Chains A and B, each alone.
Chain A
């Protein structure tokens, strides 16, 4: 037992060697870290979040209003027998809310015991964005909105904002509990 605690040069060297090889293998696999994101339009701009959070994209079905809840919960809809609320997060981000057109889509997000639909003006697609290209969100964006934006990226000549979707979903404005 005493041996294990003392200075053991051999095991330390072994550890260092392993770390070195591991690091080498990793850098070979991914020269730059890419973030696979779904991109969509909100307030006329492009926003994105990691595809792993999105479970499906659907057209905007008939939304049934829920009385007495905050405005950003637009209504509920039926997704194959499950009742899901659709939320309009544009007010939360403090961006303009143009009328939805036929191109509008809902991105369904499934989390632990919590399924919700994010209303978007349209879904653009799935792209791999290099993580290191992201820059911190500019300070001119209101602090309340900055909380939900992890950064912006100039991708193919267009700005895209990376949403912190996990944080957004945890925000109390998104849930209702009148108890």
Chain B
């Protein structure tokens, strides 16, 4: 037979099987719905006809039996009850298994005779299934997977475009700067015009990219419904097998999330829903005795929350008992007695997420395999989401998941730490603050700070990552820190600098660096260089028992230095300025850095420096021009300027003096002593 016809049949069958399943579940709740029964009849009838036409006799026979069965229901000859619906669902399952086998070219997994016999007697048809398929066959998502590759590459290219746009924006602002400084130049009007036009073009480019990005992202999105539908059946079967009555409600399943996220949501949903049925919802008699309705309710709610999706799974069952959880955790050796006593009830709930924990007293068939909520925790961390647990004993349990909409592009805070850029996903950032020495206190020898009335451990991000800490470079009596949050925990990480937030494209580190602790990938910043993206859950794990050391002292010392004199170092070479800075800082001066004469002019406008050290050859204004400009300023007329340059001719020295510099140091003869002596002789 031509595969074309087979494909058409399989597609058609898939639709009918899907609607049979959904409609049957509704029918169980609305047994009097004649229209529904008729729709079901039509599904079964069409399936029967198509299967027969293509010679799939077995499928046709089962569909025929279901049709007869439904006909009797429609005519009132057969009661529309849970047992009947059960049987019809088994029929639907059987057909589903058979079409799956057809699609794979495998033999029929159903023993037709046995099946019909079981179906007619109203018993279980489980024995008629000859082969067990491995796992759930999610053909729908699988077929999409091939195209996801293309989509990924599309999104990747778009990422490149975004980075490129950023570069254009930077260039445009450079040009603006040039216009500002080129006062009196002949072609200034034309240059300004050019800048304006370019700015408009870049703006438009940005607009198009934004739209394109949204479209490409939409292609990767699928509604939650694609996975939640399957769980309706699972919850129903599971609760039935345990003699429980459960209403499973889904709200907001139209919300779309990234395919990759959907994939990782599957195991989470499976565990959470199984838990809700197994451990949450009580038996009907128990519920009645407690004054609750016989049937329990499990509600899955999804909604947008800013740039993320919030999903809640709430059951009105027995709730989680923090005392029992603590005891179980103690017994399993997850915590020790001391820890148990100190632990708040809300914290105790999270013990269930730890490895080796399972609250179930009786090992049940499905969720009692030694894996449990720790799977959920791992999955949520993998997708950079957050999980919150809430419960009241005897009333409810609520699991809240917060997920990013997509994993390809995220909002991040860019920070500098140990002179290196790092990106931190914004979903983990509470705030950034400045810390002074007096803000730091110690708890059992560990440095802590107080943030919004709670005590937070203070750590040095550089130290934690194993990078060189540069305490000597702290200046001005304060340091920057970013407060990271995860669930109800927080930690303050000391950084060099906070460079603001940015939309970043997440890239993998490639096959060579498969998994690097504390990171989950990299991004490319506007300057074209990579920056690592920090894995915050990883940082929380490592930060346990770690705190910054002597940070209070270091900050305090920088404060004292500030009184010795403040120096502005201007140099376009990172090596020179870093060297000069460390020499001066080590000797008690408070040093600020400028990377160009223009940068220096901006900095002198906002702060009063006691001394300026400048290079000569720099892009833009040179050191001589900078000196002359400083001399022209009221506040800087008398401030000493030292020129440090590789130019050694007398001509250059003369130029420096003419511009108003006090000293000239040749880089070749550059020695720590020379610089310090000169600085000391000028400002003491």
Contact = CB atoms under 8 A, between A and B. Distances in A.
Nearest to A61: B529
Interface stretch (B29-37, B435-443, B514-522, B623-631): B514-522
A73 B517 CA distance: 14
A67 B508 CA distance: 16
Best-buried of A62, A83, A84, A179 by chain B (most CB within 10 Å): A83
Interface stretch (A38-46, A108-116, A129-137, A152-160): A108-116
B620 interface: no
Interface of B: 156, 159-160, 163, 420-421, 465-467, 507-519, 522, 524, 528-532
Band of interface residues on A: 20 to 34
Contacts of B524: 78, 81, 83
Interface string A57-101: 000011011111100010011100111110000000000000000
A78 B421 CA distance: 14
Contacts of A177: 514-515
Interface string A105-145: 00000000111100000000000000000000000000000
A178 interface: yes
A62 B420 CA distance: 11
**Majority DSSP secondary structure for residues of B touching A:** mixed
B512 A115 contact: yes
Interface string A143-179: 0000000000000000000000000000000111111
Nearest to A175: B512
A77 B512 contact: no
B515 A76 contact: no
A178 to B, nearest CB: 4
B532 A66 contact: yes
Contacts of B420: 64-65
24 contacts: A61-B529, A65-B420, A66-B513, A67-B466, A68-B466, A73-B512, A73-B513, A76-B509, A77-B529, A81-B159, A81-B524, A82-B510, A83-B524, A85-B512, A114-B510, A114-B511, A115-B512, A174-B512, A175-B511, A176-B514, A177-B514, A177-B515, A178-B516, A179-B515
Best-buried of B163, B508, B514 by chain A (most CB within 10 Å): B514
B529 A64 contact: yes
B467 A179 contact: no
A115 B510 contact: yes
A106 to B, nearest CB: 14
A178 B529 contact: no
A83 B420 CA distance: 16
Contacts of A78: 524, 528-530
Nearest to A76: B530
B269 to A, nearest CB: 25
Best-buried of A64, A114, A177, A179 by chain B (most CB within 10 Å): A64
Contacts of A76: 509, 513, 522, 530, 532
A68 B518 contact: yes
A78 B164 CA distance: 13
Contacts of A84: 510, 512
A76 B517 CA distance: 15
Nearest to A65: B420
Nearest to A66: B516
B516 A83 contact: no
Nearest to A82: B510
A85 B529 contact: no
B513 A62 contact: no
A64 B516 CA distance: 14
Contact of B519 (A66, A77, A81): A66
B510 A67 contact: no
A81 B530 contact: no
Contact of A64 (B421, B511, B512, B514): B421
A62 B516 contact: no
A116 B512 contact: yes
Contacts of B531: 64
A67 B534 CA distance: 11
Interface pairs A-B: 4 shortest CB-CB: A67-B465, A114-B511, A178-B517, A177-B514
A171 B515 CA distance: 17
A113 B163 CA distance: 24
Nearest to A174: B512
B513 A67 contact: no
A31 B517 CA distance: 53
Contacts of B514: 175-177, 179
B465 A81 contact: no
A123 to B, nearest CB: 21
A85 B518 CA distance: 17
A176 B515 contact: yes
Best-buried of A65, A73, A115, A174 by chain B (most CB within 10 Å): A65
A31 B420 CA distance: 55
A82 B528 CA distance: 11
Nearest to B516: A176
B513 A176 contact: yes
A78 B511 CA distance: 15
A52 B529 CA distance: 28
Contacts of A174: 512
A83 B511 contact: no
Nearest to B514: A177
A176 B518 CA distance: 13
Contacts of B510: 82-85, 114-115
A177 B509 CA distance: 11
Nearest to A80: B160
A82 B156 CA distance: 10
A177 B517 CA distance: 8
B47 to A, nearest CB: 44
Contact of A83 (B163, B517, B522): B522
A77 B511 contact: no
Best-buried of B465, B519, B530, B532 by chain A (most CB within 10 Å): B530
Nearest to A177: B514
Contacts of A62: 529
Nearest to B419: A65
Contacts of B530: 64, 76-78, 83
A78 B420 CA distance: 15
B513 A64 contact: no
Nearest to B417: A67
B532 to A, nearest CB: 7
Contacts of A85: 509-510, 512-513
A122 B229 CA distance: 61
Nearest to A114: B511
A67 to B, nearest CB: 4
A76 B467 CA distance: 15
Nearest to B465: A67
Given A67-B518, A76-B522, A175-B514, A83 B509 contact: yes
